[in-house]
């Protein structure tokens, strides 16, 4: 089968012919992938940044966002059947630790991540534990099925609080930031303010439902947010950028007693005044990783199936599998939202 592989340490991927997985464990299923999408994590692995160097052990197939059909199941599989249309959770839980036993599989103590700790989804076939597969209706749009995982990140980040009637500040208009913008609009946020420096992403934020898009290189974010909110500040901060300055600006812009929900992953240690920005403001601070398994997936399915959230503007490129390099380049240049690869 064709697969995009991280062959060795250093920048880049290679498309290679590799064996189709045929050694299914009793609890695993083999899925024929029809669409996969490129994620920011894939860019980190491609670029071979510090995080990738610490977590990836080449050679390994990259990618973790996909949809496809089950074509073979292990002897003990009972949650899916041959022919089922599926997408997949990328956090693979051990199902034994206290987190897994108490309904928190997404923060499993022994967590493995698809495409990080084991072969991923940039391939024609993938084997995964049945535990992480999520069945979809036959008529579910395939391109949206391939981005259910990042959409779930946005849902998890947004749903820590009721956004209805709240002034929401979203820092970073990458694909998940734009998804969060669409969710905030669909759930009745009062004002949606997005910060972003890239022109392409500013446009995506507006198309996704932002009322205001502010460029921190052109305006004082804290003053602008207060001006837009009757000097109160934002009720809720959704931090999607992984940028230290954006986080600090977001916390400064929060009203006293507000909520900060942080999904962005930062490149290293960060420094800010926790006393003035968190403690004395009495804010609630949520660290977000992954999706709730499987509460978030059910919400994501219903929102898309019933057309409550419009993700059409967020998928900006649909490419053939062999054109994957074009997708990587566009994302690295900040000239893409979600890039979906057609593997059929």
Q: What is the CATH number of the domain that holds 63?
A: 3.90.180.10
Residues 87 and 13 in one domain: yes
Q: Name the residue with tokens 């259910």.
A: 148
Residue 115, domain member (yes or no)? yes
Same domain, 272 and 182: yes
Q: How far apart are CA 52 and CA 109, in angstroms?
A: 20
The Cα 169–Cα 233 span in angstroms is: 9
Instruction: Please report how many Cα atoms fall inside a 13 Å half-sphere around the Cα of residue 262, on the Cβ side.
Output: 16
Do 136 and 200 fall within a single domain?
no
Residue 41 falls in the annotated catalytic set: yes
* Contact by Cβ (8 Å): 108, 93: yes
Does residue 25 sit in the same domain as residue 128?
yes
Q: Kindly state whether residues 174 and 283 are assigned to the same domain.
A: yes
Number of domains forming the structure of the chain: 2
Q: Is residue 302 part of a domain?
A: no
pTM for this prediction: 0.94
Task: Judge if 132 and 158 occupy the same domain.
Answer: no
Q: Distance between alpha carbon 86 and the CA centroid of its chain, in Å? A: 18
Domain that residue 64 falls in: 2-147+314-342
88 neighbors 114 (Cβ within 8 angstroms): yes
Considering the candidates 41, 67, 195, 259, report the single residue annotated as catalytic.
Answer: 41
Q: What is the CATH number of the domain that holds 182?
A: 3.40.50.720
| Residues 44 and 175 occupy one common structural domain | no
Quickly list DSSP for 18-71. -PPP----TTEEEEEEEEEEE-HHHHHHHHT-HHHHHH--SSEE---EEEEEEE
- Let me know whether 143 and 7 are in one domain: yes
pLDDT tens series, the chain, 344 aa: 999 999 999 999 999 999 999 899 999 999 999 999 999 899 999 999 988 999 999 999 999 999 999 999 999 999 999 999 999 999 999 999 999 999 999 999 999 999 999 999 999 999 999 999 999 998 999 999 999 999 999 999 999 999 999 999 999 999 999 999 999 999 999 999 999 999 999 999 999 999 999 999 999 999 999 999 999 999 999 999 999 999 999 999 999 999 999 999 888 889 999 999 999 999 999 999 999 999 999 999 999 999 999 999 999 999 999 999 999 999 999 899 999 999 98
């Amino acid at each position: 089968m064709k697969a995009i592989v991280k062959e060795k340490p250093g920048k880049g991927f290679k498309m290679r012919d590799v064996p189709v997985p045929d050694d299914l464990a009793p609890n695993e299923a083999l899925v024929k992938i029809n669409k996969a999408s490129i994620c920011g994590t894939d860019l980190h692995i491609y670029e071979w940044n510090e995080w990738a160097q610490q977590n990836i052990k080449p050679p390994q197939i990259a990618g973790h966002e996909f949809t496809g059909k089950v074509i073979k199941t292990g002897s003990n599989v009972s949650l899916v059947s041959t022919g089922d249309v599926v997408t997949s959770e990328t956090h693979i839980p051990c199902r034994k630790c206290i987190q897994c036993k108490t309904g928190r599989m997404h923060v499993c103590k022994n967590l493995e991540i698809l495409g990080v700790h084991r072969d991923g989804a940039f391939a024609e076939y993938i084997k995964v534990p049945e535990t992480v597969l999520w069945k979809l209706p036959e008529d579910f749009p395939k391109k949206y099925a391939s981005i259910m995982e990042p959409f779930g990140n946005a849902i998890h980040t947004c749903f820590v609080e009721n956004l209805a009637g709240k002034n929401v500040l979203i820092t970073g208009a990458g694909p998940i930031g734009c998804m969060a913008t669409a969710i905030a609009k669909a759930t009745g946020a009062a004002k949606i303010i997005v910060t972003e420096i890239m022109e392409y992403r500013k446009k995506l934020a507006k198309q996704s439902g932002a009322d205001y898009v502010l460029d921190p290189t052109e305006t004082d974010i804290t003053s602008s947010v207060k001006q837009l909110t009757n000097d109160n500040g934002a009720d809720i901060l959704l931090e999607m950028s992984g940028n230290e300055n954006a986080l600090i600006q977001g916390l400064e812009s929060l009203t006293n007693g507000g909520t900060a929900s942080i999904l962005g992953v930062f490149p290293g240690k960060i420094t800010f005044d926790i006393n003035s920005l968190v403690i004395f403001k009495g804010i609630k601070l949520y660290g977000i990783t992954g999706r709730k398994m499987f509460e978030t997936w059910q919400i994501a399915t219903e929102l898309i199936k019933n057309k409550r959230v419009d993700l059409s503007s967020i998928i900006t490129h649909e490419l053939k599998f062999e054109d994957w390099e074009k997708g990587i380049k566009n994302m690295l240049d900040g000239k893409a939202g979600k890039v979906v690869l057609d593997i059929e």
